[in-house]
Amino acid sequence: MTTGGRDVGRDNVDRLKQELVVGVSLNNLSGITGQKYSVGDVIKEAREAEAMGFGAIWVHDAPQGRRTVAAFDPIPVLSAIASVTKRVLLCTGIIAPHLRNPVSLAATWAAMDEISGGRSVMGVGTGAGKPTLVRRQFQAAAALNSGHAALGEQLYEARGRVFEECLEIIRLLWREDKVSYNGRYYSFADVTLGDARPATPPPILIGAGNYYPRAIGGPVHHDWQTEKAGTWTKIEQTLSKEQRGGFVKAFNAFVNVNDNATQGWTEVRDHLERFHGPPVGDDVVDRWALAGPPEKIAAHMQQYIDAGASVFQLVIGSQDQHVQMKLLAERVLPLLRPMPKAV
């Protein structure tokens, strides 16, 4: 599960808080299901998802050094999807902004948002996986800095602050003209997106939690400490009442609709192992998966809806993405009740 929030684009925040948005992730990764996906395949599935009634399309970002390398960068893929859809929100689930130049990312995303008619939602996070994999990403990000062999490691160690500065820059460029910035890791003067600046800044969802195996040494375990866990309660404690009004709650899970609960659970486990690398502990599957009959999955989702979650990213944990999309649309979505009205 991931708890997310954003504090830009208040008009879009209100939209996400008032509507229940259930979206499905489309596989733009190679190595996950044993087959490759062309851009055409992803676009076709996006059109199908919109026709089925999903409220959002999510695409992955697994950049440099990941075992499951992203076959296609999410931003141009979302731009292509934007041109053939009309209603669905277009989201990254998730993108690592600090592995890119923030000025270039702000401009590229703004163009995609314009193409979509303002339907974009930038889902971001600091990255997850074994330290060797995450380090490799930062080494690649620093590859052009010849003579600075240690820069990649320095960026990795400071990734939280680099991430924060990157988001600050993106927000400023979306909101203001002639931006100057003097941070610890980024510094520039009088940069503007000009007419490409969005009329309304796109929403940003920030990943603030993850599931880790109880036993040290699992595939996604990297010095997990309970006191560092991101929870909604901790987030609320750091915000004023006015600031809390600019955030929404989002939920992420791997899903497999199957009348045979054991088979559904096993397919999700196999998918997670292909995604993160084996072995994935049973406790991770139990806590991260929605697997089994549609009634069970809907009841689980409803608990989060009743607790205020309004945005869902459902990652298909199966070899057959299209069949699972249909099962979700036809047998799960109709069982969900609307969000409770705010008092």
Q: Tell me the per-residue pLDDT of 306-339, one tens digit each, with 9 for 90 and over.
A: 988 999 999 999 989 999 999 999 999 999 998 7
**Average pLDDT of the residues in 84-111:** 94
Question: Alpha-carbon distance 223 to 130, whole Å?
Answer: 10
CA atoms within a 13 Å half-sphere pointing along the CA-CB vector of 272: 30
Query: Which amino acid makes up residue 280?
Result: V
Q: Which has more confidence, 194 or 211?
A: 194
- pLDDT averaged over every residue in the chain: 83
Report angle CA 126, 118, 80 to the nearest 5 degrees: 80
Q: Is 178 left (phi over 0), alpha (psi -120 to 50) or beta?
A: left
Q: Is 53 left (phi over 0), alpha (psi -120 to 50) or beta?
A: left
| pLDDT attached to residue 211 | 57
**Average pLDDT of the residues in 257-274:** 93
Q: Which has more confidence, 186 or 156?
A: 186
3-state secondary structure of 55: coil
Q: Indicate the pTM of the whole model.
A: 0.88
| pLDDT at position 174 over 70 | yes
Tokens of 228: 């560092």
**Across the strands, what pairs with 22?**
312
Nearest alpha-carbon partner for 60 in 95, 96, 112, 109: 95
Percentage with pLDDT > 90 across the chain: 52
- Confidence grade of residue 144 (pLDDT, cut at 50, 70, 90): low
Highest mean pLDDT: which range of 21-30, 86-95, 325-334: 325-334
Alpha helices in 53-93 (DSSP H): 74-82
Least confident of 8-12, 88-92, 175-179, 180-184: 8-12
**Average pLDDT of the residues in 4-11:** 38
CATH no. for 10-335: 3.20.20.30
**Across the strands, what pairs with 260?**
none
